[in-house]
Structure 1
Amino acid sequence: MLMFKRRALRLLCPALATLAALAIAAPVKAGDYPERPVKIVSVTSAGTGVDDYTRLLAKYLSDKLGQSFVVENRPGGNMVVATDYVSKAAPDGYTLLLSGSGAMAANPFLFRRLPYDPMKDFVPVARLSVLPIAVIVPGNSPYHTAGELIAAARANPGKLNFATSSTGYRVILTAFNDAAKIQSVSVPYKAASAMMTDVMGGMVDYGGVEVSAIIPHVQSGKLRALAITGPNRLAQLKDVPTLRELGLERYSLNTWVGLFAPAGTPKPIVDKLTRLALQFTSTPEAMAHYQARGSAAYPADGAELRKNIVADQQGWKQMITVAGIQPE
């Protein structure tokens, strides 16, 4: 009896191994995806422009694919918390990341020991939108144009100051100063709300912040925008030139949002998500978001986004060096 069991096991084990190999090798069919709810991890807290956009994307994907796409907010650590979490998730298409250029292009030069590798740990799905940064002054500032601000700063080296609420904004404003050949004093803030309050109150001469945060204040006259980053002017601020127009875009300054999956996610699933994500960027819901938040569609497929990250990394590296910021 014992000999029979041993002989049966010898015959059965190769058969089981063959079946397992076939199961592993079986191609993933995009038509089968998703078969259960999908989680999109957001790098920001609830209520922000990026969070609103993520939820619009999640609803669009849910409607198109017939499964729930649920947003999970994991803010903190300059986007490291959320990005690291997704980098270690199973590469099955059921955990995705909605993140920004800072996490993929800037963080490698801001942290000595980044817990993820942007190029190795992720597969880019799609670039979705661009989030311009504005150079702002108080509404009653004597500076009505970027040229007037620059002229005053050149005439008074080290006398003007500028406010930022994050390392990324500080890098961008320092790059602006370098391109304009001016020297100003950096005044760092922990929160954008406190920074904007002091800019509106005239406590600092100028500052830099995401456009979505300033539109109501510009419309009310409490703030004035002198220039924005990004490839084009915005309809909401049609009289505000881009840094490129002013000849001040020495480095790559586009701040974008994109969708990512963990490395190893099957290509049919990635391709399916890419197609739908790109379609989403031109929907009425997305267009309404751009209008309200001061962002703009900036679509590109995963291959183009990967090239974008490589180029942006060099731009951020140069800007961080100019800003004199040492990795943490």
Structure 2
Amino acid sequence: MTDAMISAVGLRKSFGDFEAVKGIDVDVRRGEAFGFLGPNGAGKSSAMRMIAAVSPVSGGELRILGMDPAAHGPAIRGRLGVCPQEDTLDNELNVYDNLYIYGRYFGIDKALVRERVDELLDFVSLTDKATSRVEDLSGGMKRRLTIARSLVNRPDLLLLDEPTTGLDPQARHVLWDQLFRLKQAGVTLVITTHYMDEAEQLCDRLVVMDKGLIVAEGSPRELIDAHSTREVAELRFGVAPEGDSNEAMAEKVADLGDRVEVLPDRVLVYSDDGEAVIAGVHERGLQPAAVLVRRSTLEDVFLRLTGRSLVD
């Protein structure tokens, strides 16, 4: 048994003259949680569809579970679980039947499907909702049901596209706990997300994609160490008495850190010692209206690598 669940070398995806994925190398190991991060249009979804064996490869080599998706698509899909970004549950059926009928699509014996449905309802804490109609569930319950459905075939590899989009903080943390339990049970996870805290919580390793290319790869800690500083000092000056703009104020404190970033409402000073930055600001007679020292996060890395401009 190989430890390589996904192996891609020079992977490309084109739509006519447009190249969505421009030759990426990806290696996902058994039992890890691997993340794809990137702005809209970065190529994440195109890469995930190739990995799910539902979109043909335009170039390069791709092996999923040791198999070529062009030749063994059905065999690969039979061992995958897919949790799409949009819930595709059958609103006309109750919770139990959504899982039972989906399990029968895989040709699983009726008695075994019933056993698995009971296990999965318990796993996602929906046993008491088994006879409820899907349309009566909350958003968090629907998301948990979608994840349960993706597990009915006992997949070796679970693909999750924006698994917690639209959920409140409590529902997100419940799902994080369930995904962590899956990883502990040996399920390999591949996740796309726009939530940087989610990526930090769930992913052992991840890649940041931009314009069809991988621009960084590593664990969350490795990426922060490589592309940011230990801390960030946030300075909010408000309207300075002398009328200085944030750009002008940034020039006055630029040498206090490794890097300075100017935003409309604040100045960010990246440094390994945020408190020393604040002390230096006050020593120069500058009086910010508010200050905050925080640790660098994956979001700082993401924005530095892909920019702050919106991508349509």
- Check whether TM > 0.5: no
Q: Which structure is higher in strand share?
A: 2
TM class by shorter chain equals under 0.3
Q: Which structure is higher in helix share?
A: 1
Q: Which has the higher contact order (CA 8 A, sep 6+)?
A: 1
**TM-score normalised over the length of structure 2:** 0.25
